[in-house]
């Protein structure tokens, strides 16, 4: 079997030798119709017959893994693709460090491993469900295509996790694979597993913030799972990361283009005060303070996805070799952390203070800290755009204690600088920090579709480059 090139002959493209693995092949083929039904029911509403200029993975060679073509989404070739096996790979951390990486599930860690795979799997269809109404209000064909690219790849990421469940977890893996198609984002009875995946994505600024902030949690978690001693999980996540990069690109450049358009319109109209919100909104663009509030919302919701600051689950997942740290292979320490400590922000005597904690229990916090550093890079780039237009405004990530629902700060209220607030103060000032009903109404009012090639809605600048080097007037989606 050629591990770099993908076998496209059967129903399920793959580079895992499904042709010879009859049991798993049948299990996946049985799961396939349910997946297609889910996609038709819960995937992008409308547009199922449209021709979309999509990339499809045809190889796992980092130098040239995708091809572009027009595809009807239900006919997209969702496949099972693993990064090539590294000969002689060892478990890189935890108590089994240095032993051969597992090619089968280690029996004693089965339940823990399955839980990690199921949680990861659950987020993928959840995000497609959250984004299903956005097509109808897309600001351009270019953006519409990017939305659908993200959606089909999240669908493929679900396939990636379902393959692991079907191949390595027997009957209970099959049950979990079914359940992944049954839960629904935001459903009061059968919600998705993690909080942020039950929130709405009502407009395109939310979509860009989601792909910037929440897909970046995806990146961090996948990087941590890519270190896993369970080799099939590591290889799956390594390939998923290749696709994930485009999702964050969509988010970062999307927000950049919104900011750019706002700044340009303000300059042309001679408005220099970013807080003159009424005047800015009259230009048909989104004012910078409202962009900040959207960032506050999506950043804080995403921080909750890192779990509790102090977590025995996280300690166990590391100690047993199942989930590492961000880019564990580049870190220089003993990779076991049994005697190490890590500073954790905690609420002590009513004050937010750093406290040294056992490093193993603080692994969620550590990953979250790495995440915040990564988030700040893009925020710096956004600020450069504002600076370039000479406007006195800077975007800033809120304090980690702001608007939290999981962990140390879920019991308190804090402002964006981390100052504690009483419930009364919080209720009074909430709309200073988070989008208010009227902010939401304003943004929703701007969300009118623009489906003419080369045209863009009033509130967003065109991209600098086309996808696959296509010219500006390229028809990325032929709407049926
Ligand atoms: N919501 O010990 P703790 C992505 C639960 S995004 C609800 O701190 P742990 C993507 C927790 O389950 C990446 N419940 O938890 C992005 C536990 O429950 P049980 C997805 C929560 O395990 C965009 C209890 O609280 N991948 O790929 O250390 C588009 C105690 O908590 C939440 C992963 O997350 C929450 N936010 O940390 C598409 C990787 N947080 O077991 C895709 C896999 C915690 O006591 N998952 N709880 O009933 C993990 O590594 C960990 O499970 C978590 C939680 C980091 C999520």
| Per-residue model confidence as pLDDT tens digits over 379-428 | 999 999 999 999 999 999 999 999 999 999 999 999 999 999 999 999 99
| Per-residue model confidence as pLDDT tens digits over 1-56 | 445 678 888 899 999 999 999 999 999 999 999 999 999 999 999 999 999 999 99
Instruction: Check pLDDT > 60 for residue 153.
Output: yes
Residue 97, Cα to own-chain centre: how many angstroms? Answer: 29
Closest CA to 410 of 304, 310, 262, 260: 304
Which residue's alpha carbon is nearest to atom 1 within ligand 1? 194
Q: How far, in Å, from the CA of 196 to the mean position of ligand 1?
A: 10
| Per-residue model confidence as pLDDT tens digits over 432-463 | 999 999 999 999 999 999 999 999 999 999 99
Average pLDDT over residues 50-64: 87
Q: How far, in Å, from the CA of 435 to the mean position of ligand 1?
A: 26
**pTM beyond cutoff 0.85:** yes
Whether 361 is in the pocket of ligand 1, judged by its Cβ within 6 Å, is no
Instruction: Check pLDDT > 90 for residue 117.
Output: yes
Q: Check residue 3 and give its pLDDT.
A: 57
Q: Check residue 8 and give its pLDDT.
A: 85
Ligand 1 atom closest to residue 314's alpha carbon, by position in its atom list: 28
Ligand 1 atom closest to residue 126's alpha carbon, by position in its atom list: 38
Whether 123 is in the pocket of ligand 1, judged by its Cβ within 6 Å, is yes
Whether 364 is in the pocket of ligand 1, judged by its Cβ within 6 Å, is yes
Residues 236 and 226: their CA atoms lie apart, in Å, by: 8
Whether 406 is in the pocket of ligand 1, judged by its Cβ within 6 Å, is yes
Residues 410 and 400: their CA atoms lie apart, in Å, by: 11
Q: How far, in Å, from the CA of 195 to the mean position of ligand 1?
A: 9
Closest CA to 115 of 296, 265, 316: 316
| Angle, vertex CA 246, rays to CA 168 and CA 399, nearest 5 | 95
Average pLDDT over residues 289-302: 98
Q: How many residues does the chain have?
A: 480
Q: What is the 3-state secondary structure (H, E, C) of 306-360?
A: HCCCCCHHHHHHHHCCCCCCCCHHHCCCCCCCCCCEEEEEEEECCEEEEEEEECC
Q: Check residue 57 and give its pLDDT.
A: 85
**Cβ pair 402, 418 in contact under 8 A:** yes
Whether 51 is in the pocket of ligand 1, judged by its Cβ within 6 Å, is no
Average pLDDT over residues 262-277: 98
Mean pLDDT is lowest, of 188-192, 244-248, 380-384, 460-464, for 244-248
Q: How far, in Å, from the CA of 305 to the mean position of ligand 1?
A: 6
Q: How many CB atoms lie within 10 A of CB 60?
A: 19
Whether 234 is in the pocket of ligand 1, judged by its Cβ within 6 Å, is no
Average pLDDT over residues 128-151: 98
Instruction: Check pLDDT > 80 for residue 254.
Output: yes
Which residue's alpha carbon is nearest to atom 10 within ligand 1? 218
Instruction: Check pLDDT > 70 for residue 183.
Output: yes
Q: Check residue 1 and give its pLDDT.
A: 41
- Testing ligand 1's pocket by substitution, the residue of 183, 313, 357 carrying the most ligand atoms inside 8 A of its CB is 313
Q: Check residue 40 and give its pLDDT.
A: 96
Q: Check residue 2 and give its pLDDT.
A: 46
- Testing ligand 1's pocket by substitution, the residue of 121, 194, 227, 230 carrying the most ligand atoms inside 8 A of its CB is 194
Q: Check residue 60 and give its pLDDT.
A: 80
């Amino acid at each position: 079997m050629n591990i770099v090139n993908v076998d496209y002959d059967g129903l399920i493209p793959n580079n895992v030798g499904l042709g010879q693995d009859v049991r798993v092949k049948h299990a996946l083929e049985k799961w396939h119709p349910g997946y297609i039904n889910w996609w038709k029911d819960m995937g992008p509403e409308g547009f199922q017959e449209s021709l979309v200029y999509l990339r499809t993975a045809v190889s796992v060679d980092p130098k040239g893994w995708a091809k572009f073509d027009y595809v009807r989404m239900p006919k997209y070739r969702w496949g099972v693709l693993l990064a090539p096996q590294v000969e002689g790979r060892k478990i890189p951390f935890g108590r089994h460090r240095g032993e051969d990486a597992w090619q089968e599930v280690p029996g004693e860690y089965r339940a823990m491993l399955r839980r990690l795979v199921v949680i990861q799997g659950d987020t993928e269809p959840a995000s497609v469900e959250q984004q299903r109404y956005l097509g109808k209000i897309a600001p351009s064909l270019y953006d519409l295509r990017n939305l659908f690219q993200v959606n089909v790849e999240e669908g493929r990421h679900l396939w990636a996790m379902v393959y692991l469940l079907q191949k390595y977890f027997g009957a209970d893996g099959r049950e979990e694979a079914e359940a992944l198609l049954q839960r629904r984002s935001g459903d009061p009875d059968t919600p998705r597993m993690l909080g942020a995946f039950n929130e709405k994505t009502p407009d395109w600024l939310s979509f860009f913030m989601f792909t910037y902030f929440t897909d970046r949690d995806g990146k961090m978690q996948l990087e941590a799972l890519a270190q896993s001693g369970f080799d099939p999980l590591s290889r799956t996540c390594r390939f998923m990361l290749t696709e994930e990069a485009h999702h964050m690109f969509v988010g970062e450049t999307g927000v950049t283009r919104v900011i750019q358009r706002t700044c340009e319109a303000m300059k042309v109209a001679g408005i220099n005060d970013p807080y003159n919100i009424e005047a800015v909104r009259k230009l048909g663009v989104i004012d910078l303070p409202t962009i900040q509030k959207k960032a506050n919302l999506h950043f804080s919701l995403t921080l909750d996805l890192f779990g509790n600051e102090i977590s025995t689950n996280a300690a166990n997942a590391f100690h047993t070799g199942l989930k590492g740290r961000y880019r564990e292979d580049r870190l220089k320490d003993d990779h076991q952390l049994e005697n190490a400590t890590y500073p954790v922000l905690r609420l002590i005597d009513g004050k937010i203070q750093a406290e040294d904690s056992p490093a193993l229990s603080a692994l969620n916090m550590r990953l979250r800290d790495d995440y915040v550093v990564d988030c700040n890079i893009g925020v710096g780039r956004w600020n450069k755009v504002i600076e370039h237009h000479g406007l006195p405004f800077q975007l800033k990530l809120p304090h980690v204690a702001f608007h939290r629902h999981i962990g140390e700060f879920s019991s308190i209220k804090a402002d964006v600088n981390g100052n504690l607030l009483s419930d009364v103060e919080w209720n009074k000032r909430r709309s200073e920090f988070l989008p208010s009903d009227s902010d939401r109404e304003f943004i929703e009012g701007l969300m009118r579709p623009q489906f003419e090639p080369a045209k863009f809605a009033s509130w967003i600048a065109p991209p600098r480059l086309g996808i696959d080097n296509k010219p500006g007037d390229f028809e990325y989606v032929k709407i049926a």
